[in-house]
Amino acid sequence: MSEVLYLAGENLISPIVLSFALGLIAALARSDLSIPEAAAKALSIYLLFAIGFKGGVSVADHGIDLSLGQSLVAGIVLSAITPLIAFLLLQLLSKMDRLNAAAVAGHYGSISIVTFVAATSVLENRGLSSEGYMVAVAAAMEAPAILSALWLASRDGSGKKMDKELWREIFLNGSIVLLIGSFLIGWITGPKGLAEIDSFIVAPFKGVLCLFLLDMGLLAGRGMKSGRGAVGIGAIAFGILMPIIGSLLGLLCAFLLGLSVGGSMLLMVLSASASYIAVPAAMRVALPEANPSIYLTLSLGVTFPFNLVLGIPLYLTLAQAFIGG
Amino acid sequence: MSEVLYLAGENLISPIVLSFALGLIAALARSDLSIPEAAAKALSIYLLFAIGFKGGVSVADHGIDLSLGQSLVAGIVLSAITPLIAFLLLQLLSKMDRLNAAAVAGHYGSISIVTFVAATSVLENRGLSSEGYMVAVAAAMEAPAILSALWLASRDGSGKKMDKELWREIFLNGSIVLLIGSFLIGWITGPKGLAEIDSFIVAPFKGVLCLFLLDMGLLAGRGMKSGRGAVGIGAIAFGILMPIIGSLLGLLCAFLLGLSVGGSMLLMVLSASASYIAVPAAMRVALPEANPSIYLTLSLGVTFPFNLVLGIPLYLTLAQAFIGG
Amino acid sequence: MSEVLYLAGENLISPIVLSFALGLIAALARSDLSIPEAAAKALSIYLLFAIGFKGGVSVADHGIDLSLGQSLVAGIVLSAITPLIAFLLLQLLSKMDRLNAAAVAGHYGSISIVTFVAATSVLENRGLSSEGYMVAVAAAMEAPAILSALWLASRDGSGKKMDKELWREIFLNGSIVLLIGSFLIGWITGPKGLAEIDSFIVAPFKGVLCLFLLDMGLLAGRGMKSGRGAVGIGAIAFGILMPIIGSLLGLLCAFLLGLSVGGSMLLMVLSASASYIAVPAAMRVALPEANPSIYLTLSLGVTFPFNLVLGIPLYLTLAQAFIGG
Amino acid sequence: MQTHAAKRVEITIERVMQSRLTDALSAAGVTGYTILPVYGGSGRSGPWSRSGQVSKAGGMVQVVCIIRPDRLDALLESAFAVVERHIGVVCITDCDVLRAERF
Amino acid sequence: MQTHAAKRVEITIERVMQSRLTDALSAAGVTGYTILPVYGGSGRSGPWSRSGQVSKAGGMVQVVCIIRPDRLDALLESAFAVVERHIGVVCITDCDVLRAERF
Amino acid sequence: MQTHAAKRVEITIERVMQSRLTDALSAAGVTGYTILPVYGGSGRSGPWSRSGQVSKAGGMVQVVCIIRPDRLDALLESAFAVVERHIGVVCITDCDVLRAERF
Ligand SMILES: Nc1ncnc2c1ncn2[C@@H]1O[C@H](COP(=O)(O)O)[C@@H](O)[C@H]1O
Ligand SMILES: Nc1ncnc2c1ncn2[C@@H]1O[C@H](COP(=O)(O)O)[C@@H](O)[C@H]1O
Ligand SMILES: Nc1ncnc2c1ncn2[C@@H]1O[C@H](COP(=O)(O)O)[C@@H](O)[C@H]1O
Ligand code: NA
Ligand code: NA
Ligand code: NA
């Protein structure tokens, strides 16, 4: 426990977490600080490209682990099943109607890439390595949860029939394509490719992440203010409990897969995190009657900060305790 | 004197000043070269974050100097009093009406953070250190001048009553929040935090500054063209005299505070520089009848280039002569 | 030949080419991956500034070669004459009407700076140096081709009389001004200036180029889809033959000028490449009846990928064979 | 100058629905439209702004179509089918255009 | 299709006044509006453009409100109170809307 | 509130022609206009979008002028001279404005 607290304390005073806090405070104090939409998108493109590329290079470096395929399958299953658990938990903890509960559930099955990125940088700081292909697992976990959510919603007759267009949008959304694409580029070009561009994608990475988290803090703070009325205390409890449950599922899979401590922690983070980019967009198309204030407040305003500040050190401690290291 | 000229000459052929000149010439020649608004904002967010963070780290590094509090107070007083002097000088030198004179005066009490940043990079080139908390002094000097300007204007019955909203906008404007926030982050995380992100905020800093100054040159050039008619010869004389007067006030304060040569030069630069971001926005809200062409042309088209090219070497020479070094 | 293939293979698996391929595939698969306009412009400003600056520094470093003036003249002549050849070849290979043929021809006389940049990075990878002033030659080659194209069009009575405004727009367009300006800044400040900003303009250069090529891939892919109907098989053949012819003209000039292998290859690349930024804009003003789908599809969808993937290694092999090295 | 009566239809719709709307318009034979970015707004679901956003969710665009009056109904029907379950505003104004042959 | 008469009010106003205007609109019960970015323009105070700008001063936005005709006056009065001393243009057009219950 | 009849002219024109258009408007005595960015669109020359673009070619802007009805013809003539050979749409709407002295 004291290990968790120590880690959490150290985590708390990292530039990354403090940048998020700065954004949060600025937004809650109604400062007009803001990052232009185009700049925020450019930062996210940079982060996706860099994290994908580095993952690919690491696979090229260490050779393909037997468990790559297994991990992908595990990720897909985790992503598809988590929404069912989330849906039940929501019904238990809150009075949310089934449509909104389905939409929220979809977010928790999918992943938040920036939480993943923050976790990799914590691993790096502590000198822990991880399986490079976890980036591919992250990409694989983005979409299946959406299908589960739509299935949950359709049992009520709500939700739209999946048209081909929507399938394409979900599986070829920009962040998946960029993540997988840069992963493959990193894999193909390997350490030699990395050497060519590492002063772009490695050295400045953490600084860029700080600015991105500043923006996330601003968004989370503004979302909290406007979403205040939309979520009750039960839903907030869900927003903290669910990532812990998710992380335990992730831990179990990691154990079964035989992942390293670092890889286990990353799989826990993926299972614990909730989407706030790809899934909301899919939900607006497929479940327009679901209320975005609810799922965005929970995902961005509750679970994301929880994971960033307390979750990541907690999951790392658990991984170290159960996987060894 | 020859020292000033030597310094000015060396300053003149730095990439920073030449980038500004390139922007200026391109604008005056009516080239369509332009930097997108979102990119310009991103550059300014980067510069504020980096300069604040580095200031904070330097405070963490060297411990808190006794004079931090005193310097903040001195900065606030300088910012509040300078507009009164500027107002009188304007009445003397030009036929500007009292409302516009008040608005202009407010700009000269406040500060231009990019002039400050350019000055720090000149210090760095010459291997001179300065008090890290000067960044906090810069932030403290942004707002008080606005209140003085509004007070000057209100003596005429013009100007709007300060509403709570306006107070909030002035004191929590994005650049103050970002500067103070990143200063605190740098302070809290210290050299360890800096080590994590220095290849983002230290190494590329001067290059980013070049691009930002290119943009400033474009804006200044376009402002000169459209503001040509708005300012007379007397006002232009003010735009060159006032920064020198301001710098001397800064020098006096620096001497009384016992600042280092570098710190003294920075305080001079702060007193000498005129706002072109925060104050214009506040003036549009509070003194909408004042003519923006006048204050923007003076601040961006006259005083900024003067400080960048001649002022900074001049202030450095004065600081070295009077403070020692 | 096997040397070309080897080079082409190596080129093919560079992060730069693969990033382009990723964008192309994403666009053809109708992914919604996209780079905001402001970010794309910021990337291009960075690349122009960096390449210009480095060229200038290299001139400052190695002293002015006698052939600078001659190279500029050769570039201007190449740019002015190539459209005439292109026009004839188009008439030969396709049934394109004279107006569109003139517009297309103008693109091939002018240059694509990103092809040039990609070529410099191939040279760098192979440790080959080149004349720094090739950047100035690139700038000089942007505009003359436009005048040739307008002359070709005017022989039909189409095309607008060149007004003063259009002259100014062509010769002072943003990319020419930025390239020449940063070249001069680099020249003036020299290696000392470079030392100040090299961690901004040298180290991350190739990484930024990857993101820019990702964007080019997206644009090329989307252009191919929407321009499909506009160009026939003859025109496509032109889009591949013309760069080869252009490169041979470039090789001839380079031989006459006595350029180094690296410089020869760059002049070949300039002659071989087709504009997709400056010339299209000029054509919209001066030849609005010409169909942009035709010239953009050829320049961005055919010739640019050809040069990037096959052309650059081919030209390098030819330069090495004929110029020595 | 000679002008011709036409209708200006302004459809404010979620960004995620943009391609579905323009596909529907094309299917209904409406191939002329202009898309304006929207920076923010407010409605029954409260205020929103695009600043700092990365997700496509939570933003809107404005699609402006100028059409001949007799084609208005076809346009409205195809637009309505897309907008129906989604938030969005459809606003029709009378206008005059130059060069009527284009519409 | 069934449409309903409404008013489209387009207020071009300085960016620094945006939140004051929307606060005033909300206070007057107008909660539906869309904000469009403005790239540049010209008026009695000469031409301007946003390109390269960092300051919020010197830019404008367009606030578009579609409302029921009977609520027009309340809107105009609250808007005018904000715009009065500031530069800005208020332009009202007759329009028709689908789904009138929304306004 | 007291309003005054005016005309709202919306000219959708290629970005490369923007300065030529505004110069022509100024020459015709029209000094008040607002320029809106355009994100994409579709017309006889097919669909387009600005995303990822670097070139000024291939984008459009919307120039909105509000003028007194009696000055409409001067405006249209000067605009038409610029737009004539180029793609672009000119759309005129009746409107009412506050503060008529400004137009
Ligand atoms: N009356 C209105 N006038 C203009 N725009 C509106 C209006 N009502 C809604 N909107 C726009 O449509 C979006 C969604 O509206 P709503 O569905 O009411 O939340 C708002 O955020 C506005 O951008
Ligand atoms: N007649 C007009 N039509 C459209 N926009 C206008 C008009 N007059 C002024 N504007 C806009 O309002 C801004 C301020 O106008 P002004 O107060 O006249 O300087 C201008 O820069 C334009 O963006
Ligand atoms: N009927 C229309 N309504 C609105 N915008 C249009 C219309 N027709 C054309 N446009 C705009 O004008 C551009 C050029 O049209 P065109 O010349 O038909 O290719 C299109 O891409 C649209 O942005
Ligand atoms: Na998850
Ligand atoms: Na000052
Ligand atoms: Na060429």
Q: Residue F26 is part of which domain span? A: 4-102
Condensed to tens digits (0 to 9), the pLDDT of residues B189-213 reads 999 999 999 999 999 999 999 999 9
Average pLDDT over residues A196-210: 96
Bridge partners of A280, per DSSP, are: none
CA atoms of D81 and D66, how far apart (whole Å): 19
Residue in F closest to D64 by C-alpha: F41
Q: Please tell me the distance from the alpha carbon of residue D100 to that of residue D97, in angstroms, as a whole number.
A: 6
- pLDDT for C8: 81
Report the separation in Å between the CA atom of F24 and the middle of ligand 3, taken as the mean of its atom positions: 21
Better pLDDT: C183 or B165: C183
Query: What is the average pLDDT across C231-251?
Result: 97
**Which of A163-167, C224-228, C280-284 has the highest mean predicted lDDT (pLDDT)?**
C280-284
Would the CB of F55 count as within 6 Å of ligand 3? no
Q: Is the dihedral of CA A266, A271, A273, A274 positive or negative?
A: positive
CA–centroid distance, residue E64 to ligand 1 (Å): 10
Could you tell me how many helices (H) and strands (E) chain F has, helices first? 2, 6
Question: What is the Cα–Cα distance from C314 to B176, expressed in whole angstroms?
Answer: 55
State the sign of the Cα–Cα–Cα–Cα dihedral B238, B243, B246, B247: negative
Q: From the CA of B39, how many Å to the nearest CA of chain E?
A: 8
CB contact under 8 A, A278 and D55: yes
Which of B12-26, B147-161, B255-269, C126-140 has the weakest average pLDDT?
A: B147-161
Q: Is B238's pLDDT higher than 60?
A: yes
Does the structure show a pLDDT above 90 at F46? no
**pLDDT given for residue C161 in this prediction:** 63
Least confident span in A137-146, A266-275, C264-273, D47-56: D47-56
- For residue A66, the 8-state DSSP code is T
Could B31 and C197 be called an inter-chain contact, meaning their C-beta atoms sit closer than 8 Å?
Answer: no
Confidence band, pLDDT 50/70/90 cuts, at residue C157: low
Mean pLDDT along residues B109-133: 95
Domain CATH code at residue B108:
1.20.1530.20
Check if D12 contacts E (Cβ < 8 Å). yes
Among A22-26, A153-157, D42-46, where is mean pLDDT lowest?
Answer: A153-157
Nearest Cα residue in chain F from E12: F34
- The contacts of residue E94 (CB under 8 Å, 6+ apart) are D93, D94, E5, E7, E8, F94
Residue type, C197: I
Per-residue pLDDT tens over the stretch B272-290: 999 999 999 999 999 999 9
Q: Tell me how close the Cα of A211 comes to any Cα of chain B, in angstroms.
A: 8
Which residues surround the ion ligand 4 when the cut-off is CB under 5 Å?
A: A 271
| Domain extent for C303 | 2-323
What does the pLDDT average to over C291-295?
Answer: 95
Q: Give the HSE-up count for residue B83: Cα atoms under 13 Å, Cβ half-sphere.
A: 33
Which of D13, D3, D10 has its CA nearest to residue D93? D10
Contacts of D82 in chain A (CB under 8 A): none
What tokens does C307 get? 């040069």
- Nearest listed ligand to the Cα of residue C268: 6
The mean-pLDDT minimum among A8-17, C137-146, E73-82 falls in A8-17
Q: Across all residues in chain E, what is the average pLDDT?
A: 93
Our CA-based measurement puts residue B125 at a distance from the nearest CA of chain C, in whole angstroms, of 9
Q: Which atom of ligand 3 is nearest to the CA of F46?
A: 19
Pocket test of ligand 3: the residue of F87, F92, F93 to mutate, having most ligand atoms within 8 Å of its CB, is F87
Q: What are the tokens at C14?
A: 């560079």
Q: Residues B43, B211: contact at Cβ < 8 Å? A: yes
Task: Say whether residue B32 is in contact with chain E using an 8 A CB cutoff.
Answer: no
Contact indicator for A141, A76 with CB cutoff of 8 Å: yes
Q: Which residues in chain F have their CB less than 8 angstroms from residue D33's CB?
A: 41-42
Given pLDDT bands bounded at 50, 70 and 90, which one contains residue C325? low
Q: Please count the structural domains in chain B.
A: 1
pLDDT at B67: 81
Nearest CA in chain B to A35: B42
Could you give the ipTM of this predicted complex? 0.96
| Other CB atoms within 10 A of residue A276 CB | 28
Lowest mean pLDDT among A294-308, C148-162, F54-68: C148-162
Q: What is the pLDDT of residues C20-58, one digit of tens each?
A: 999 999 999 999 999 999 999 999 999 999 999 999 999
Say yes or no to pLDDT of B325 above 60. Answer: no
Mean model confidence pLDDT for chain B: 94
CATH number at residue F97: 3.30.70.120
Q: What is the mean pLDDT of residues A12-40?
A: 96
**pLDDT tops 60 at residue B159:** no
- pLDDT, position A325: 56
Ligand 5: centre distance to CA E43 (Å): 31
The percentage of residues in chain A with a pLDDT greater than 70, rounded to a whole number, is 97
The ligand that comes nearest to the alpha carbon of residue E88 is 2
Cβ D34 under 6 angstroms from ligand 3: yes
Per-residue pLDDT for F56 more than 90? Answer: no
Q: D91 and D10 in contact (C-beta within 8 Å)?
A: yes
E31–D12: do the CB atoms touch at under 8 Å? no
Side chain identity at B83, as an amino acid letter?
P
Q: Are the C-beta atoms of B11 and B17 separated by less than 8 Å?
A: yes
B316 residue type, one letter: L
Decide if A32 touches D, using CB distance below 8 A: no
A314 Cβ contact partners less than 8 Å away, ≥ 6 residues apart:
A4, A8, A244, A247
Reply yes or no on whether the pLDDT at F19 is more than 90.
yes
B21-74 pLDDT, tens digit each: 999 999 999 999 999 999 999 999 999 999 999 999 999 988 776 788 999 999
Question: Which pLDDT band holds residue D45 (cuts at 50, 70, 90)?
Answer: confident
- Mean pLDDT score of chain F, rounded to an integer? 93
d(CA D6, CA D97): 7
Q: Which own/partner contact pairs does B244-250 have at CB distance under 8 Å and 24+ positions apart?
A: B244/B272, B244/B311, B244/B314, B245/B85, B245/B89, B246/B82, B246/B108, B246/B271, B246/B272, B246/B273, B247/B271, B247/B272, B247/B311, B247/B314, B247/B315, B247/B318, B248/B318, B249/B78, B249/B81, B249/B82, B249/B85, B250/B78, B250/B315
Q: CA C115 from chain center: how many Å?
A: 5
Q: Which of residues 63-82 of D touch F (CB under 8 A)?
A: 66
The per-residue pLDDT for range A102-124, each reduced to its tens digit, is 999 999 999 999 999 999 999 99
Whether pLDDT at B161 is above 80: no
DSSP at C143? S
Asked whether residue A65 carries a pLDDT value surpassing 80, the answer given is: no
Contact residues on chain D for E96, CB-CB shorter than 8 A? 91-93
pLDDT at C159: 55
CB B178 within 8 A of CB A19: no
* Dihedral over alpha carbons A256, A262, A263, A269 (to 10 degrees): 100
Q: What is the pLDDT of residues C74-119, one digit of tens each?
A: 999 999 999 999 999 999 999 999 999 999 999 999 999 999 999 9
Which chain A positions have a beta carbon within 8 Å of C206's beta carbon? Answer: 196-197, 200
Question: Would the CB of F83 count as within 6 Å of ligand 3?
Answer: no
**Total structural domains within chain D:** 1
Residue A244 confidence (pLDDT) above 90:
yes
3-state secondary structure chain D: CCCEEEEEEEEEEEHHHHHHHHHHHHHCCCCCEEEEECCEEEECCEEEECCCCCCCCCCEEEEEEEECHHHHHHHHHHHHHHHCCCCEEEEEEEEEECCHHHC
Q: Is the pLDDT of residue C2 over 80?
A: no
For ligand 2, whether the C-beta of F34 sits within 6 Å is yes
Q: Where are the alpha helices (DSSP H) in C94-133?
A: 98-109, 113-125
Mean pLDDT of A217-227: 93
Residues 29-48 of E with CB under 8 A from B: 45-48
Instruction: Record the tokens describing residue B192, joined without a space.
Output: 């360890």
pLDDT reported for residue D1: 83
Q: Are A46 and A233 in contact (CB under 8 A)?
A: no
- Distance from the Cα of B297 to chain C's closest Cα (Å) equals 24
Nearest by CB: F76 against D35, D95, D98 = D98
pLDDT at C172 over 60: yes
> Can you give the pLDDT at residue D69?
95
Quick one: average pLDDT of B156-185?
86
Chain F nearest-CA distance from E53, in A, is 15
The number of angstroms, rounded, from the C-alpha of A119 to the middle of its chain's C-alpha atoms is 10
